[in-house]
Chain A
Amino acid sequence: EVQLVESGGGLVKPGGSLRLSCAASGFTFSSAWMSWVRQAPGRGLEWVGRIKTKTDGGTTDYAAPVKGRFTISRDDSKNTLYLQMNSLKTEDTAVYYCTTKIVYWGQGTLVTVSS
């Protein structure tokens, strides 16, 4: 059974940093493109970014609102996806989901950016 479990969310001040993790199991993680999608409270879904497999170059793509501030990485030896978030803004407050193939989703982790 495919499982994605996000962690690392919490309360952080504007300008601060946070690193989210997504632990994957039940599939061959190293062969999977992985993505982060977020959802602000009471709002719709927004793509954050994605990372390809090392075989496909391991490159990353980001949505404009987070480009230059967020970094997606992966550790295939640990079956774990990461989202490093720097220079956080209040508008980054959201539940952050990891997903693969946009079929399998984690339960999400809440990030609150507030002073």
Chain B
Amino acid sequence: DVVMTQSPLSLPVTLGQPASISCRSSQGLVYSDGNTYLNWFQQRPGQSPRRLIYKVSNRESGVPDRFSGSGSGTDFTLKISRVEAEDVGIYYCMQGTHWPFTFGPGTKVDIK
């Protein structure tokens, strides 16, 4: 199975400051169709997961533009340009290229 790792696992941030989460996969994530199926999810306390980013850098409808994704190959990054209080939660990367799909362990973002 493809192993997804994330760093850091805990990220205390100051409101209004940027934040960055790294995700690494144990194998390349380019599918046979040429797409890279790397997703980012946000899970707020007590809620179901919400997909923020798909195919590395595409924001879901309704996701604020302070969220951005980048990367290629086996290294990917989620950035929040200016953290707001509503961004508190756990962020997961997930690969949808190789079955079984796998999630990273999650990065807990909270406010300092």
A residues near B, CB below 8 A?
37, 44-47, 61-64, 97, 102-103, 105-108
Contact = CB atoms under 8 A, between A and B. Distances in A.
B76 interface: no
B102 A106 contact: no
A45 B48 contact: no
Interface string B52-87: 000000001000000000000000000000000000
A44 B103 contact: yes
Contacts of B48: 97, 105-108
A108 B48 CA distance: 7
Contacts of B49: 37, 45, 97, 105
B96 A102 contact: yes
Interface residues of B, number: 21
B44 interface: no
A61 B96 contact: no
B6 to A, nearest CB: 10
B94 A64 contact: no
Contacts of A97: 48-49
A85 B59 CA distance: 35
Contacts of B103: 44-47
A45 B89 CA distance: 14
B100 A63 contact: yes
B105 A61 contact: no
A90 to B, nearest CB: 21
A22 B102 CA distance: 22
Q: List the 5 shortest-distance A-B pairs measured between CB atoms, nearest first.
A: A105-B48, A63-B100, A45-B103, A47-B101, A44-B106
B102 A47 contact: yes
B61 to A, nearest CB: 9
B36 to A, nearest CB: 15
Nearest to B61: A103
Contacts of B50: 105
B94 A45 contact: yes
B92 A45 contact: yes
